[in-house]
Amino acid sequence: MDEPTIEEWMDRHHVEIVRTHATNMDGIALGKYIKRPKFLKSLPGALGIADMALAMDASGLPHLAWWHDFRRGVLGDIGLKPDIDTLISDGTDPDLGHIICDFVSAEGEPISLCPRSLLKRITDEIADMGYRVTTTFELEFFLFHTSFADARRRGYQHLSPVGATENQMIYSLRNAYHSKPFMDEVIRRLNWQKIEWESWSDEGGYGQVELNFTPSDPVQAADRVSRARQIVYEVACDMDMAVTFMAHPQPGYSSGLHAHHSLTNMETGEASFHENGGPSPLMMNWIAGMIATAAGASSFLSPTINSYRRLAEFAAPPVTASWGIEDKSAMLRIITRTPSVTRIENRLAASDANPYLAQAVMLAGGLIGAKHNLQPPEPLKHLGWRLPDTVKRLPRDIMSAYEALGEDDYLAEVLGEDVIEYWRKSRRAEWLMFHTEGGDPEAREVTDWEYNRYFELI
């Protein structure tokens, strides 16, 4: 889209203000409201933003104890480069448009730590092998009658989940009926902004909702999750309610970000993961790579202190690096009923995971399996919970995942050594903040520190 076309589009949609939207490493949505003349003047370049946007923790503290090449020796500027193909009108605010951006240097060069740019690079690498990736997410969250302001006054305790019963139901139409007025408005805004979705339903937790999206390419799929999270939050504010994407905000079931993906041969159009009614050799390599890198990948897929409260036996999430045909207790559920539905579902990611980084690390594992011709272990033949103690478990806390990522032999090949090291330092800092700011490492229940840090911002 060239600039005259952009101006025509903005005229047609009456857009006078553009909200930029970028996602930092913690998955937090950042941006500015830009007046139309300044936005147009910036094209095809980038809009300035402080470098701490990509180098701060979930509380807003800048990363000063470690550094990266994209940063100068002082707190300086970087840029947000708009992706014109993502420009949309708001649908609720008549003057407002939205655009998704990539983090770039002040000179406009790509930054390796930008989650969206990293996912683009990995998707391009798979395309260079001759395959097109198709992905989608299942986004889960908890919905409360209590407003955000009231939730803060209560210290996020004793909130009022939306539903008909406290029982741990799933797909309950009576629970969903209570959520429907809220979800009607969410769906209206998704439709207006052309964010394609397939279904929503009541989930297992009290007040829990799941929203499923139409399959697309990985970057667009992650864009949809990032935008949908913002829409869900804004609807909650507008309706005097509260939502959270914390993985485990209350006793009972937790929230995940299940991710499905498949490969298609770009030359023949055939499903590359399917052969003779089952997994193809490429799919077996792909599974093997994802299993081999699972412990290290868990650092990206369970990024917060709270994420690991989700990983309990018989609580739905996987606890081992495992795979199985149509097995929802495994980390990787493999579906091969027909070529058109053949795919891998990764069930490890928590709802607070960054969708760009989550997809990046999953696809990196598959790429590694293909490059090294890895072969997977035997599939699960029973439920993947309460297995003998001899069966190794996935990391159960943020520092165990930090160590596993440091010991991983493969992921740096695809993600980059600098990305791995920077991410590890940020997770170690998260652990240190928890231990030095009043978090109780022995607490069996969610702590005030977790609520204050994650409930509203992740």
Tell me the per-residue pLDDT of 231-241, one tens digit each, with 9 for 90 and over: 999 999 999 99
Alpha-carbon distance of 376 to 289, in angstroms, equals 8
pLDDT at 1: 56
pLDDT over 90 (residue 74): no
* 8 Å CB contact between 361 and 410: no
* 8 Å CB contact between 222 and 116: yes
- At 4, the pLDDT band (50, 70, 90 cuts) reads low
3-state secondary structure of 113: coil
pLDDT at 444: 85
- At 3, the pLDDT band (50, 70, 90 cuts) reads low
pLDDT over 90 (residue 389): no
pLDDT, the chain, mean: 95
pLDDT at 2: 55
Q: Maximum distance among all alpha carbons in the chain?
A: 65
Q: How many residues does this entry show for the chain? A: 458
- At 382, the pLDDT band (50, 70, 90 cuts) reads confident
* 8 Å CB contact between 102 and 117: yes
What would the mean pLDDT of 403-432 be, rounded to a whole number? 97
What would the mean pLDDT of 426-450 be, rounded to a whole number? 91
Strands (E), 8-58: 17-23, 29-30, 33-35, 47-50
How much of the chain is in helix, strand and coil states, percent to nearest 5?
A: 35, 20, 40
What would the mean pLDDT of 24-45 be, rounded to a whole number? 96
pLDDT digits (tens, 9 = 90+) for 164-208: 998 888 999 999 999 999 999 999 999 999 999 999 999 999 999
Could you tell me how many helices (H) and strands (E) the chain has, helices first?
13, 17
Residue of 423, 258, 395, 252 lying closest to 320 (CA atoms): 395
pLDDT at 377: 96
pLDDT at 422: 97
Residue of 453, 443, 152 lying closest to 304 (CA atoms): 453
Greater confidence, 243 or 390?
A: 243
What would the mean pLDDT of 405-422 be, rounded to a whole number? 97
What are φ and ψ of residue 126, in 5° steps?
Answer: -70, -40
pLDDT digits (tens, 9 = 90+) for 127-172: 999 999 999 999 999 999 999 999 999 999 999 999 999 888 899 9
pLDDT at 124: 98
Strand partners, 29: 23
Which two three-digit tokens encode residue 37? 């003349």
pLDDT digits (tens, 9 = 90+) for 344-357: 999 999 999 999 99
* 8 Å CB contact between 225 and 139: yes
pLDDT at 315: 87
HEC assignment per residue over 248-311: CCCCCCCCEEEEEEEEEECCCCCECCEECCEECHHHHHHHHHHHHCHHHHHHHHCCCCHHHHHC
Place of tokens 């299993």: 291
Report the amino acid identity of residue 68: H
* 8 Å CB contact between 89 and 96: yes
Which two three-digit tokens encode residue 29? 């949505």
Alpha-carbon distance of 355 to 226, in angstroms, equals 7
> What percent of the chain shows pLDDT beyond 70?
99
pLDDT at 439: 80
Distance spanning both ends of the chain, measured CA to CA: 32
Alpha-carbon distance of 438 to 263, in angstroms, equals 46
pLDDT at 42: 94
Answer positive or negative: Cα dihedral of 95, 99, 103, 107: negative
431-434: list long-range contacts, CB under 8 Å, 24+ apart. Answer: 431/305, 431/398, 431/399, 431/402, 433/57, 433/59, 434/305
pTM score: 0.96
pLDDT over 90 (residue 390): no
- At 395, the pLDDT band (50, 70, 90 cuts) reads very high
Alpha-carbon distance of 368 to 362, in angstroms, equals 10
